[in-house]
Amino acid sequence: MKHTLVPVVLCGGSGTRLWPLSREAYPKQFLAFDGEFTMLQDTVLRLHGLAECVSLAPPVLVCNVEHRFLAASQLVAAQVDDARIVLEPFGRNTAPALTLAALQAGSDGADPILLAMPADHVFTDRAALHVAILQAMEVAVQGALVTFGIVADRPETGYGYIQRGAEYQQGSYRVANFAEKPDGDTAQRYVDSGEYLWNSGLFMVRASVWLKALDACKPEILQACTRAMADAQCDLDFVRPDVAAFAACPSDSIDYAVMEHLPKRPDLGIPACVVPLQAGWSDLGAWDALWQVLGHDANDNAIVGDAVLTDSTGSLVMARSRLVAGVGLRNIVVIETPDAVLVADKSQTQSVKHIVAHLKAQKRALADTHRKVHRPWGWYDSIDSGERFQVKRIVVNPGASLSLQMHHHRAEHWVVVKGTAQVTNGEKVFLLGENESTYIPVGHIHRLSNPGKVPLEIIEVQSGSYLGEDDIVRYDDSYGRMSS
């Protein structure tokens, strides 16, 4: 008998330790560090091939409301067109996120098995991951809550640990204990004992079993999420839980809310189990973790992009927009983006989050946004700016439109570089081809659309007394965004 498995992709988090590539408006799960797919796309696609053994249902994606169009567009690009996207009005950690997914997956009366996967993890051995998933399913169908423990190959102080107990059935063990991130000596003892596994943050459980366990351990989370989903609204391809109800939900992780309580609550009849996993796992928590999973040259350097190194060893160099040259680097990380460059000792990359906190305290936009900003219709790149002017490169996807809008403080000049533009300028609607232009005076209602089948690219020159993105009055918008 094939059991139904619902992939639950947990797509929250900001990835501050991977700044400047990962930022709050475009965090690491939406990035492709080295390869064709982003981390989100790879997470959804890594279960392909399991369908021969299980009934693989459409995935449920739980993400921040601010990232909804980014997530949806990446799923479409990966040819995943059947996902259900549940939008968290606020970040409340993994326990409420899994609860929203369980309620959504069981809304038709079904009781599927849920596989909760963070969208920002890496597995280099997909076949080994599939074997572990099938082992976990044999336990989950019997009513256990299963986690996956990574077989530790070094004394790592950046991970939590799971102590495995007696064998539960072939391939799985009882959870004996959870341990917080240890110091170096304790981590070494954990590894030497052979009893401890890294806590991966992956979980498998029946929807009904999760809700039962949560009701016993953290009923306030279940009550808030149940109310939020009872009054949820469907908007385009998204499920929006009720904002007021979800605001009352406590923030907690799956581990703290439920998993750690189960070994002490035999009365619930829900075993806490762990399946050991060796599948080339990394949570890409910092730049040193990325260096570990990338390919290395003869001098142990990992290079992504246009970079040249000489007399350098053990370093990570990533070039996103220009040539980066390194001489005499020893265990150094260099991350280049169009608007910021990070240089760090590879052993100190956990501290990058302090740089982000410093930028936030100074209210620097570089902490949150890139120069290139993604929108549901495409993206724009702020090429240059100065007193009373700004220049942008704007790309509009085929069939997409910007909102019908007006600006109080700026005028705009549009020059079509590639494709065909449909322009609304005041009461006029007309087409522009390559090398043609138009002028949008201050206060004119206007809209830019792409009626063609190829991306539309324009250069926009803004001029005026104020050029901020909040100077937008929206009269109509295909994406349900409110006027600033």
- Tens of pLDDT, residue by residue over 28-42, are 999 998 778 999 999
Identify whether residues 419 and 273 lie together within a single domain: no
| 191 close to 157: Cβ distance less than 8 angstroms | no
- The pTM assigned to this predicted structure is 0.91
Task: For the chain, give the mean pLDDT.
Answer: 94
Q: Give the model confidence (pLDDT) of 113-154 as tens digits.
A: 999 999 999 999 999 999 999 999 999 999 999 999 999 989
Identify whether residues 219 and 269 lie together within a single domain: yes
- % the chain with pLDDT above 70: 99
> What pLDDT score does 385 carry?
93
| 217 close to 258: Cβ distance less than 8 angstroms | yes
Identify whether residues 268 and 397 lie together within a single domain: no
Q: Which residues of 330-368 are buried (b: 16+ CB within 10 A; e: fewer)?
A: ebbbbbbbeebebebebeebbebbebbeebeeeeeebbb
The CATH number that applies at residue 109 is: 3.90.550.10
| DSSP-based three-state secondary structure for 323 | coil
Question: Of 361, 384, 408, which closes a domain?
Answer: 361
Question: Of 361, 387, 421, which closes a domain?
Answer: 361
Identify whether residues 72 and 166 lie together within a single domain: yes
Identify whether residues 311 and 278 lie together within a single domain: no
Give residue 482's pLDDT band: very low, low, confident or very high (50, 70, 90): low
- Is residue 140, in this structure, part of any structural domain at all? yes
Please name the residue ranges forming H helices in 218-286: 219-230, 243-247, 254
| DSSP-based three-state secondary structure for 145 | strand
* Token code pair at residue 271: 């075993």
**DSSP 8-state secondary structure symbol assigned to residue 144:** -
CA distance 73 to 295: 29
| Number of separate domains in the chain | 3
CA distance 183 to 140: 33
The CATH number that applies at residue 398 is: 2.60.120.10
Residue 302 belongs to domain spanning = 287-361
- Is residue 482, in this structure, part of any structural domain at all? no
Identify whether residues 355 and 398 lie together within a single domain: no
